[in-house]
Amino acid sequence: MGDSSTDSFSLKTAFEERKQMKRDELVAVFDQWAKDGKYEKDMSFIGNKGVDIVTRAASDHFSTNKDVVSVIDIAAGTGLASQALLKLGFSIIDGIDPSQGMKDEAMKKNIYRDYVVDFVDGHKTVLETDKYDCSVVSGGFSQSLMPCNALYEITRIVKPEFFNEVELCI
């Protein structure tokens, strides 16, 4: 996955490879993939519809006062969804992702108030209960990545009356 050249990048192959991996191996792959813009080149090659889907939905939901809406970008990666949110008028944006390499790339963009390195799954992260008005997940519920029970954590950290926008990769 991380070693493929952009011209031959295949999501199908990447998904097959992931099925055999342990959690730390998977994170190592994302750490490598993030380097030197490789992940973003591959995403631009295959097209990352998830970013558009979740950020437009969030933008439609919060049609006014986006600048006071706090958003958590889950499985934030290199920050592609957060960048799109910023362009749409959101400004209070945090991220969470288990890959330090992805975070390192994301932090170069000066988007984030905070970016936590952790998995989102069944366990309780350091993020406070009811901290956010909105969550977005683009590409996080993909092959072998976030398990369904991540939804428990997502609903814990987002205020009950607020908004979760999840793009499912099927």
Ligand X SMILES: C[S@@+](CC[C@H](N)C(=O)[O-])C[C@H]1O[C@@H](n2cnc3c(N)ncnc32)[C@H](O)[C@@H]1O
- Minimal distance, residue 2 CB to ligand X, in Å: 11
Interacting residue with ligand X among 71, 127, 145, 166 (CB under 6 A): 145
Interacting residue with ligand X among 98, 105, 134, 166 (CB under 6 A): 98
Residue 38 and residue 2 in contact, taking contact as beta carbons nearer than 8 Å: yes
> What are the two backbone dihedrals, phi and then psi, of residue 51, each rounded to the nearest 5 degrees?
-60, -50
Q: Is 76 in the site for ligand X (CB under 6 A)?
A: yes
Interacting residue with ligand X among 72, 86, 102, 154 (CB under 6 A): 102
- Minimal distance, residue 11 CB to ligand X, in Å: 9
**What are the percentages of helix, strand and coil residues in the chain, rounded to 5?**
45, 20, 35
Cβ nearer to ligand X, comparing 62 with 77: 77
- In the window 48-67, what residues touch ligand X (CB under 6 A)? 48, 50-51
Q: Is 135 in the site for ligand X (CB under 6 A)?
A: no
Q: Is 132 in the site for ligand X (CB under 6 A)?
A: no
Environment class of residue 162 by beta-carbon count within 10 Å: exposed (0-12), middle (13-18) or buried (19+)? Answer: middle
Q: Which residue is nearest to ligand X (CB)?
A: 77
70-74 and 114-117 as β-strands: parallel, antiparallel, unpaired? unpaired
Q: Is 142 in the site for ligand X (CB under 6 A)?
A: yes
Residue 75 and residue 168 in contact, taking contact as beta carbons nearer than 8 Å: no
Residues at the site binding ligand X, with contacts judged by CB under 6 A: 30, 43, 48, 50-51, 75-77, 80-81, 97-99, 102, 119-121, 138-140, 142, 145-146
